[in-house]
Structure 1
Amino acid sequence: MTETIDRHQTTHSAHPAFRASEQLAAHLQQVLVDLTDLHIQGKQAHWNVVGKNFRDLHLQLDEVVDDARTFSDTIAERMRALYITPDARAATVAHGSSLPAFPAGEVDTAQTVDLVVGALYGVAATARRVHDEVDAEDPTSADILHSILERIEQLAWMVDAENRTANRSVPANVPV
């Protein structure tokens, strides 16, 4: 006769070298929510952008979306490695995002550029706001924030260049 093993009765005990504090968990959760919202807003913009330079911006928005998805996955997996349960459900993202909402319907390319740049800098602002406290507790997570910031700010510069006039305009959505 074959015995059935009840796996639910097995006790498992992990002893991680490091566990995140509630503050670190909250900081990483906020970055996750903002990156997830950036991904969603990028797709909304991608589907509804119209006007001059449509195709270039349409394709550039795919880069924003792909990077936001990759970064949100990286943050969520880092959270799991620290025994934090990530939450990127639609209701959580809608309620917790620090990014301004993207409008419904068609959006002109120039306005889309400004809105997406604002969202990119919003994610960067969140990462910068939490960075020092994250770094004090977990330099490894701070290193992840560094790589996200590097790319998000590069994307913001590249997208924003669509609306700029050489030597005659300042970047949109950036405090001067």
Structure 2
Amino acid sequence: MTTSSKLHYTVPGMTQKDAKRVVELLQGRLDACNDLHLTLKHVHWNVVGPHFISVHEMLDPQVEAVRGFADDLAERIATLGGSPVGTPGRLVKSRTWDEYSLGRATTQEHLGALDLVYQGVIGDYREGMQELDELDMVTQDMFVAQTEQLELFHWFIRAHLEDKGGHLSTADATTEAEAAKAAIS
């Protein structure tokens, strides 16, 4: 199942062609936010270790904010005349990233893996912002606001992974497993 390529209408001043592309960008971020809030909740349930409670409690506001982002993205799709798709099947089918790989693990392992998750999500938002510069400033503004919050959450994660010299334990990691291992080394 994919977002219908046929728009019922679009907003004044936007062509159907541009609206279709904006809807595609929005649907990609909707998929990412749905995946991210589920991943964050998964981590919330599976963290263990001495810093359990601080990480456990840090994640809930992130989950709620990202759920709100998903709702805003879906409503923008509808505003542009599209039909947002938020089903599990859509998410699995359209995902271009791997399933989150950690189960029960220490807070540091999960935070290391989440560092890479946030890097991917934020990187994709920033690519979308560049493309939206020519297509739709309203949607771009939404992406900018959401990215600002995601970058703040990413900083919260990275603060646990940084030494006093500013070096991130996960700096050279390219997979969640590598990042998790680096975070405890």
Regarding TM over 0.5, the answer is: yes
Rounded Cα–Cα distance in structure 1 between residues aligned with 2:9 and 2:120: 37
Equivalent of 1:39, from 37, 40, 47? 37
Structure 1: runs of 5 or more not aligned: 1-12
Residue 129 of structure 1: aligned partner: 127
The residue identity in structure 2 corresponding to 1:53 is H
CA contact (8 A) 2:115 2:157 kept: yes
TM-score by length of 2: 0.80
Matches within 5 A, 1:119-158: 119-158=117-156
CA contact (8 A) 1:164 1:171 kept: yes
The residue identity in structure 2 corresponding to 1:143 is D
Q: Note the C-alpha offset of 1:103.
A: 2.6
Structure 2: runs of 5 or more not aligned: 1-7, 174-185
Rounded Cα–Cα distance in structure 2 between residues aligned with 1:121 and 1:95: 21
TM-score by length of 1: 0.83
Rounded Cα–Cα distance in structure 1 between residues aligned with 2:63 and 2:163: 26
RMSD of equivalent CA atoms = 2.2
Aligned length: 163
Residue 23 of structure 2 is aligned to residue 25 of structure 1:
yes
Rounded Cα–Cα distance in structure 2 between residues aligned with 1:40 and 1:109: 17
Equivalent of 2:67, from 66, 69, 73? 69
Matches within 5 A, 1:66-145: 66-103=64-101, 105-145=103-143
The residue identity in structure 2 corresponding to 1:90 is P
Q: Note the C-alpha offset of 1:115.
A: 1.6
CA contact (8 A) 2:27 2:85 kept: yes
Q: Deviations over 1:94-134 (max 9, x none)?
A: 22234432135312111110122222221111111111222
Rounded Cα–Cα distance in structure 2 between residues aligned with 1:99 and 1:83: 28
Rounded Cα–Cα distance in structure 1 between residues aligned with 2:172 and 2:92: 24
CA contact (8 A) 1:24 1:133 kept: no
CA contact (8 A) 2:34 2:67 kept: yes
The residue identity in structure 2 corresponding to 1:147 is A
User: How much identity, in percent, do the aligned residues show?
Assistant: 24
Q: Deviations over 1:52-74 (max 9, x none)?
A: 21000001111221111011111
Which entry has the higher C-alpha Rg, 1 or 2? 1
CA contact (8 A) 2:47 2:105 kept: yes
Q: Note the C-alpha offset of 1:42.
A: 0.5
Residue 7 of structure 1: aligned partner: none
Moved more, 93-102 or 55-64: 93-102
Moved more, 14-23 or 147-156: 14-23
Rounded Cα–Cα distance in structure 2 between residues aligned with 1:72 and 1:35: 6
